[in-house]
Amino acid sequence: MSVTVEELEAITDAKVVDARGTACPGPLLEAKKGMAGVPMGSTIEIWSTDPATKNDISAWSGKVGHDFLGVLEADGYDRVFVIRRK
């Protein structure tokens, strides 16, 4: 599942998980914790300064069954969007 940049930019109700400054596997572990705190079908937005995170979260989402939406580049970090599906 992937959406357009415009659709990602229109998401305003995602729970932000700020993992900036953490090294692998920090962003992944923060994403897992963040996911546990939102209802099924909700979107979380992981902030990461590690350029590998977007691929890592994409692979993790596919593995565990969440929907990876895509990535927006911010000022010095990535915003990675995932919908909780399990």
User: For binding to another protein (CB under 8 A), which residues are involved?
Assistant: 22-26, 28-29, 31-32, 56, 60, 63-64
Sheet order of strands, 15-18 included: 15-18, 43-48, 78-83, 67-73
Nearer to another protein, 8 or 54 (CB): 54
Q: How far is the CB of 16 from another protein (least distance, A)?
A: 19
Interatomic CA distance for residues 62 and 55, integer angstroms = 11
Q: What 3-state class would DSSP assign to 40?
A: coil
Q: Min. distance of Cβ 80 from another protein in angstroms?
A: 14
- Which amino acid belongs to residue 35? M
Residue of 24, 29, 52, 64 with catalytic role:
24
Is 48 among the residues known to form the active site?
A: no
